Amino acid sequence: MIPQYKALLAFLIITAAATATFLWVTRNTANKERLNLEAVSKLRSRFAITCALLLIAALALTLPHLPYPRGSEIPDKVVFVAAKQFAFGLSEAPIASDAQWEAASQGPAVRIPANRLVEFRVTSLDVNHGFGVYSPGGVLLAQTQAMPGYVNRLRLRLQNPGRYPVLCLELCGMEHHSMRGIFEVFATGKE
């Protein structure tokens, strides 16, 4: 099943569950029974404690996965990315001028070793763009914004050798749909 259908299916299931819950609540609150307020307040505090425990558990489980503790790691390779209507320039050297961007966007694809930490330093030379890295099979792996005047760092470790397309994820003009870039991941022998 393609991801879009999975998302549609999830949406339909969640919507059906929410609708059923609302209908159930509507039916059950129609009869005028006397409320036992003490029981209600007990139930409410139990609910609040359960929610708090679930939130704390979610925090403890997900916090170690944030990239911040690994921020001091030194990347094995740095790739400079400059977006401009309507292509991405990727280069091993900083891209500061239109001429450098042209050379970077039309030259041979930048080569990145597999299983090494690579840092993309992403900026834009004109308007906002989205830097979306796709696997050779066309699955979105990671993305960041490409903004004029800012440099966003995106760190990745790519396992599989191949040609990785970069697509623009921000509607940036008439030719947005054709805006792309490419880089190549090569096997390093070891690992």
- Per CB under 5 A, residues contacting Cu ion are 129, 168, 172, 179
State in angstroms the smallest separation of the CB of 25 from Cu ion. 46
Residue 15, C-beta contacts closer than 8 angstroms, at least 6 positions apart: none
CB nearer to Cu ion: pick between 82 and 158: 82
Q: Which of 175, 179, 158, 153 is nearest to 167 (CA)?
A: 179
CB nearer to Cu ion: pick between 168 and 185: 168
State in angstroms the smallest separation of the CB of 119 from Cu ion. 21
State in angstroms the smallest separation of the CB of 94 from Cu ion. 20
- Return d(Cα 139, Cα 134) in angstroms, integer: 5
Q: Which of 134, 117, 15 is nearest to 75 (CA)?
A: 117
* Phi, psi of 135, rounded to the nearest 5 degrees: -70, 165
State in angstroms the smallest separation of the CB of 176 from Cu ion. 5
CB nearer to Cu ion: pick between 73 and 175: 175
Q: How many CB atoms lie within 10 A of CB 86?
A: 18
CB nearer to Cu ion: pick between 113 and 183: 183
Pairing of the two strands 180-186 and 162-168: antiparallel
CB nearer to Cu ion: pick between 179 and 185: 179
State in angstroms the smallest separation of the CB of 185 from Cu ion. 23
Contact 78, 155 (CB under 8 A): no
State in angstroms the smallest separation of the CB of 172 from Cu ion. 3
CB nearer to Cu ion: pick between 79 and 172: 172
Residue 168, Cβ density class (10 Å: 0-12 exposed, 13-18 middle, ≥19 buried): buried
Omega before residue 86 within 30° of 0, cis? yes
